[in-house]
Amino acid sequence: MKAAVIGLGVEGKKAVNSLLKHGWDVYATDLNINVDLDGLDLPILSMNMIDDKQTVSIVGENITVDLGFTNSYAIEDCDAIAISPSMFGGSFANRLLEDGELLSDVVDKHKELFTIGITGTNGKTTTVHMIKTILENAGRKVLVGGNGGGGFSGYYDLILEANEGDYDVLLVEVCDMTLDFANYCFDFDMVGLTNIGNDHMDVHKTIANYKNSLVRFFTGKTIFTAFNQDFNTDFKEASSQCIPYFEYQDELQLVGKFNLLNAGLATAICREIKVPKDVIRQALADFHAVEGRLDVYKINDAEVYVGKTDNSDALASVLAEKDFYALFIGTPRHNETHRLDILDVAVKYNPEVIVLFPGLDDTLDIAIYRLNSLGYMGNIITVSTLDQIIELVAEYSHEDAILIGGNGQDTIIKIQERIKLISEKL
């Protein structure tokens, strides 16, 4: 079998890796010749530069990658096509749907499984892992994955894995930017909404647009929303059934009221599919924070909170819980300046120190300018290495609390690993 992968963003690269892993031949293409190929699991390849570096062809035993152009004949020769979720709804994607060539139509065993989707702005990954833990403790065979940005292997990997394995439940993390795409690819029996927050506004433009995307996604489905969620009236009208959930009341090792709501959502879904209360209670009592998500470590006198908080609502929910002496904030990509509004939230809570480090990109200068324009009067420090971050944590470790967050999941995971090691040795 041969598949074409159109677009080599996060999902495209994960699709290539998954297809190769599952024994497919792959033709991959991106019109951007400067696309970042880091993360692609490629063998040793031969490279052919064409037209004075305006196009590039990379050829391996079972893969061809064309950059700067697309070979339509190669696509026509494929059995299935994987497009970037951002292309969904365009004319090219619509033609594929008419012809039944999208990978989710060609490989469709996943549509036979009982499928639960978790979407929202913050808390998706934690909630997905809570549900997975509960269901597995109840004896269910669970396949989990989805949104590549959440640390999973992407939607296409989930489709391919479901085609080969023996599972009872398909559990999908759905990014709020890919709602229409996921709605087409999967047959959701239930959908849980964690929250609606201020993120990806470069795509949604307004909260109203985001809400409308959710209404389309929820139409005709059994959905779970927080008891006090904005737009619940709209969601209830669109859905076949709208079940409210509340903050979890039993033992939970995670910090923050937001995690009580995540646990409440996981509990409501699992109760609806008849998981016993005692199984849910024990699973959540034993549940630990997902790698890269907010956790707390003791270093000397300080509680050191570490976890990705890459949008203003995520950061505000943490800062509302504790008075932090210092905030360490990872900076966003150059094209994601909308995410700098986390600095607006940081300044509002007025810590003594704000430490900036490269999260997804080195946009330190832009972040410093933002802090100065906001009139922040505390101490601004910039660092560029993990060792420098650890040195400052040691310096502030006799204060009450420190938060390390912002953008850059991979970077924050590395910081978290070091902080955990130090904490365990003390």
The count of C-alpha atoms lying within 13 angstroms of the C-alpha of 405, restricted to the half-sphere facing its C-beta, is 31
Distance, first Cα to last Cα, the chain: 54
Residue with tokens 């120190």: 353
State whether CATH 3.40.50.2300 applies to domain 2-103. Answer: no
User: What is the reported pLDDT for 43?
Assistant: 61
The count of C-alpha atoms lying within 13 angstroms of the C-alpha of 165, restricted to the half-sphere facing its C-beta, is 17
Closest C-alpha to 326, from 299, 365, 291 = 299
pLDDT in tens, the chain (426 residues): 999 999 998 889 999 999 999 999 999 999 888 888 887 877 655 555 555 567 888 888 899 999 999 898 999 999 999 998 888 888 888 888 888 899 999 999 999 999 999 999 999 999 999 999 999 999 999 999 988 666 788 899 999 999 998 999 999 999 998 999 999 999 999 999 999 987 666 676 788 999 999 999 999 999 999 999 999 999 999 999 999 999 999 999 999 899 999 999 999 999 999 999 999 999 999 999 998 899 999 999 999 999 999 889 899 999 999 999 999 999 999 988 888 999 999 999 999 999 999 999 999 999 999 999 999 999 999 999 999 999 999 999 999 999 999 999 899 999 999 999 999 987
Are 176 and 119 in contact, with CB atoms under 8 Å apart? yes
Measured at the alpha carbon of residue 210, what is the angle toward residues 206 and 214, in degrees to the nearest 5? 165
Instruction: Report the b/e string of 316-349 with b at 16+ CB within 10 A.
Output: bbbbeebebebbbbbbbeeebeebbbbbebbbeb
Given this structure, which CATH class describes domain 107-285? alpha beta
Are 158 and 118 in contact, with CB atoms under 8 Å apart? no
Domain positions in the chain are 2-103, 107-285, 295-425
Q: Which residues pair with 354 in a beta bridge?
A: 327, 380
Closest C-alpha to 2, from 86, 64, 56 = 64
Closest C-alpha to 130, from 277, 264, 309 = 264
User: What is the reported pLDDT for 138?
Assistant: 97
Instruction: Report the b/e string of 47-79 with b at 16+ CB within 10 A.
Output: eeeeeeeeebbbeeeebbbbbbbeeeeebeebe
Alpha-carbon gap, residue 408 to 406, rounded angstroms: 7
Entry pTM: 0.90
User: What is the reported pLDDT for 297?
Assistant: 96
Q: Which residues pair with 5 in a beta bridge?
A: 28, 82
Backbone angles phi, psi at 298, to 5 degrees: -95, 120
301 three-class SS? coil
Residue with tokens 């080195």: 362
Going by C-beta distance under 8 Å and a sequence separation of 6 or more, which residues neighbour residue 345? 312, 315, 316, 319
Domain covering 295-425 in this structure, CATH number: 3.90.190.20
User: What is the reported pLDDT for 338?
Assistant: 83
Under DSSP, the state recorded for 154 is B
Residue 350 token pair = 């007025």
